[in-house]
Amino acid sequence: MSVLRVLGTAVATGEPVDLYADGDRWTADPVRDAEAVPVGWVLPGLVDAHTHPGYQEVGGPLDDKVLRDHLHQHVDSGVTLIRAPGLAGDPPDWFGTDPDVPRAVHAGPWIAQHGQFFDGWGRRASHAELPGLAAEQAARTGWAKLIADWKTDDEHLPAGVLRAVVERVHAVGGRVAVHSQQRSGGTAAVEAGVDSLEHGTWLDPDLLTRMAAQGTALTPTLSVLLGGVPVVTARPESEFRSWWLAGVAAHPATIAAAAEAGVTLLAGTDSLPHGRIAAEVRALAGAGVPAHQALGAASWTARAFLGLPGLEPGAPADAVVYAADPRTDLDQLDHPLAVILRGRRVR
């Protein structure tokens, strides 16, 4: 395999980039006869921080072939790292490690209290059992994902239970992601000190300063929520319809306020089809998040949050190269000049 050379300008810093792929790591040491990729604006690989690959229908099993197909769709879009906060089953050994699929961080199957979440998916436990179950999962994979609230008339997980989950998971070196689309569930999650809040519709804006201070990230999944507005609007009048539409309508302003407050934002697509990270970046920018920050949520900021450095010697050899600065034209994200994964050019 030939050694790749990446030349250009780092989008995150505006500084020159001149790196060589020494296997799966960047080096600044020149390599003779290295293959140069097109010169351009360079990101250290895109990140989809909320995606659930590997199933064909909600509640269905994890399918290895479908999983690989979905991961290839991510790679085609420039995504070199994913976080899967919930999977339809325990993934195969090649997940996140084979050369043709993105690096991956995952939380295994979702964890919920009894009577909530999709039938056929996840694990259910009593409030007393949840901290131990979450800690066991995080000890295996580094993350546990809990459902804090579900239907509008369901009881959310109490802050005390979530706090016990966080304490047990952190004790084994893991982190906690929490699904919330209700004000009460989001409040409980933030008060418990979870590591990331997923979706976060109806989030109390008064909590944003606390989230920034304690390091609770927000993954708004805005593009899929906005995409659902026409579908839900077409439904007959109901309490759920009114609640859901109002929550989504308020979401962009909350996201913009979170960015201003210094909350770590993570870009995540959440649903089919896979490979839509560009749409999420544009949705964040459309909500009022500065383009630089929106791109970081899908690249260098997300990588740092998930424990991976960017364009520097010794870092994983991932990169996406664009002809022009994507901050001034986010449509550039749809047309990468090159995608490099694990030191290999895959596009």
Residue bearing the bigger pLDDT, 203 or 271 = 203
Scored b (16 or more CB within 10 A) or e, 221-230 reads bbbbbbeeee
Contact present, 99 and 344 (Cβ < 8 Å): yes
Three-state SS sequence of 318-345: CEEEECCCCCCCHHHHHCCCEEEECCEE
Whether the Cβ atoms of residue 111 and residue 76 lie closer than 8 Å to each other = no
**Mean per-residue pLDDT for 300-312?**
97
The pLDDT, as a whole number, for residue 271 is: 82
| Residue 272 confidence (pLDDT) | 87
| Confidence band for 22, pLDDT divided at 50, 70 and 90 | confident
CA dihedral 107, 113, 117, 123 (to 10 degrees): 50
Q: What are phi and psi of 280, to 5 degrees?
A: -70, -40
CB atoms inside a 10 Å sphere around CB 147: 24
Q: What type of residue is 335?
A: H
Considering the chain, what percentage of its residues have pLDDT values greater than 90? 97
pLDDT tens figures, 249-283:
999 999 999 999 999 999 999 988 999 999 999 99
Q: Please indicate, yes or no, whether the overall pTM of this predicted structure exceeds 0.85.
A: yes
Strands 319-322 and 40-43: antiparallel
Number of C-alpha atoms within 13 angstroms, CB side, residue 62?
19
Before 309, cis peptide (omega within 30)?
no
Predicted confidence (pLDDT) per residue in 101-154, tens digit: 999 999 999 999 999 999 999 999 999 999 999 999 999 999 999 999 999 889
Section 160-174 average pLDDT: 98
Q: Say if residues 126 and 136 touch (Cβ distance below 8 Å).
A: no
Q: Which of 148, 49, 151, 152 is nearest to 107 (CA)?
A: 49
pLDDT category of residue 1 using cuts at 50, 70 and 90:
low
What domains sit in the chain, N to C, each tagged with a CATH number?
Answer: 1-44+309-347 (2.30.40.10), 48-308 (3.20.20.140)
Please state, for a pLDDT cut of 70, what percent of the chain lies above it.
Answer: 100
**26: Cβ contacts below 8 Å, ≥ 6 apart:** 19, 20, 311, 312, 313, 314, 315, 316, 317
Q: How far apart are CA 131 and CA 218, in angstroms?
A: 22
